[in-house]
């Protein structure tokens, strides 16, 4: 019994990481209706960026966030203004195909530069530290930190959207870019900022992923799928829903793994399908898909 409870707790904590994966994807879709197929590959790119900075200089992985996050934000802004803005429009094909192309380019560039070997970030003692919470269950410090970060990111985004001028500009552009431009908002710049913000979160997610587990250049697409599943399970437009979706996905995976190591990921995917069949709008939908 304790064993199962422990499995569920670990799944909930894993959900924090998935919520971090999903927040950037959800943000880009919410503001510019852009689904970035390369989202998972950008997470892996951020992870390798962390490795490239932390390993040669022996820097603490958490400190390298100070470089990775702004670097990813810059990549996001340039990418949006330089490439992705040109793909936005009624037709869904161009953004999908361009980001799919980017996904393949990133995967193969990373393979060329870092080889196909598995790598990871070493954060020292924190990786194995845990806090006993009673009843024989212990919570790892690192997974807890990831979950706390995910919650902090969501609270931060909520505050940004509701309390600041730039948040208002984000919402206005999302609702109606043409009218927003009449009010003096530069939609292209706003889209650039939105992607910068999404990529900054991707930067955090990537570094945490590399600390938590070993990575290789080809695992990006699977992260995209987890992020996507968390968004759909939670319901479009709701960041707290996305956190809940990530947690449900995490629990499904850890429970699946406990039953049979081959079933973990499969259980996650099947949970997603079940939600899609029985609650097509997700658990906590805020907006309806058009």
Partner 1 sequence: MSKVLTAAAPAFAIERQTRASRFGAVALVLALLVMVSMPWWGGRAEMRTLTEFLYILALAQMWNLLAGYGGLVSVGQQAFIGLGGYALVVFAMKLGLNVFVSVFLSGLVAAVIAIPTAAVVFRLRGAYFAIGTWVVAEIFRLLIANTVWLGGGSGLSITSAVKGIPAWWRESITFWLAIAIGLGAVLLSYLLLRSRHGLALTAVRDSEAASESLGVRVRDMKWFVYVASAFGCGLVGGLIFITKLRISPDAAFSADWTAIMFFVVVIGGIGTIEGPIVGALVYFALRGTLQDFGSWYLIVLGLVAVVLMLKMPKGIWGWVAARHDIRFFPVQRRLRLTETGKGGRR
Check binding of 228 to partner 1 (CB under 8 A): yes
Residues 60-89 that bind partner 1 (CB under 8 A): 83, 86-87
Q: Which is nearer to partner 1, 78 or 265 (CB)?
A: 265
CA distance 284 to 77: 30
Continuous H helices in the chain: 2-32, 39-57, 61-82, 93-114, 141-163, 165-175, 177-182, 187-212, 220-234, 239-259, 264-278
269 touches partner 1 by CB under 8 A: yes
What is the rounded CA–CA span in Å between residue 290 and residue 285? 13
- Between 186 and 289, CB nearer to partner 1: 289
* CA 22/CA 202 separation, integer angstroms: 9
Q: Which is nearer to partner 1, 94 or 135 (CB)?
A: 94
Give me the least distance between CB of 146 and partner 1, in Å please. 23
- Residue 285 binding partner 1, by CB under 8 A: no
Q: Does 221 bind partner 1 (CB under 8 A)?
A: yes
Pick the binder of partner 1 from 1, 2, 93, 178 (CB under 8 A).
93
At CA 280, angle to CA 35 and CA 39, rounded to 5? Answer: 20
How many whole angstroms separate alpha carbon 52 and alpha carbon 54? Answer: 6
Q: For the window 18-57, what string marks contact with partner 1 as x by the rule CB under 8 A?
A: -----------x----xx-x--------------------
C-alpha distances (whole Å) from 33 to each of 36, 39, 111, 202, 219 are: 10, 14, 30, 18, 25
**Measured from the CB atom, is 61 or 245 closer to partner 1?**
245
Q: Rule CB under 8 A: which residues touch partner 1?
A: 29, 34-35, 37, 83, 86-87, 92-98, 100-102, 104-105, 107-109, 111-112, 221-222, 224-225, 228-229, 232, 260, 262-263, 265-266, 269-270, 272-273, 276-277, 280, 289-290
């Amino acid at each position: 019994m304790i064993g199962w409870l422990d499995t569920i707790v670990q799944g909930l904590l894993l959900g924090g990481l998935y919520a971090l994966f999903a927040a950037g994807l959800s943000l880009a879709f919410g503001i510019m209706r852009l689904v970035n197929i390369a989202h998972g590959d950008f997470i892996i790119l951020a992870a390798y960026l962390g490795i490239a900075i932390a390993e040669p200089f022996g820097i603490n992985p958490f400190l390298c966030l100070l470089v990775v996050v702004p670097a990813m934000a810059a990549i996001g802004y340039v990418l949006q203004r330089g490439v992705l803005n040109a793909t936005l429009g009624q037709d869904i094909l161009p953004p999908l195909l361009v980001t799919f192309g980017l996904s393949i380019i990133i995967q193969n560039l990373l393979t060329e530069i870092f080889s196909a070997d598995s790598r990871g970030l070493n954060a020292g003692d924190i990786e194995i530290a845990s806090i006993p919470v009673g009843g024989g269950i212990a919570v790892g410090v690192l997974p807890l930190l990831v979950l706390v970060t995910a919650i902090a990111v969501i609270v931060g985004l909520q505050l940004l959207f509701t309390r600041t001028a730039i948040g208002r500009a984000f919402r206005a552009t999302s609702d109606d870019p043409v009218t927003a431009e009449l009010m003096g908002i530069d939609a292209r710049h706003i889209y650039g900022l939105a992607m910068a913000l999404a990529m900054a979160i991707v930067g955090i997610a990537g570094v945490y992923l590399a600390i938590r587990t070993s990575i290789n250049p080809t695992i990006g697409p699977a992260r995209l799928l987890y992020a996507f599943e968390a968004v759909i399970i939670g319901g479009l437009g709701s960041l707290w829903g996305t956190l809940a979706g990530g947690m449900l996905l995490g629990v499904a995976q850890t429970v699946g793994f406990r039953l049979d190591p081959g079933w973990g990921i499969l259980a996650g995917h099947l949970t997603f399908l079940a939600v899609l069949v029985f609650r097509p709008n997700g658990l906590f939908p805020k907006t309806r898909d058009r």
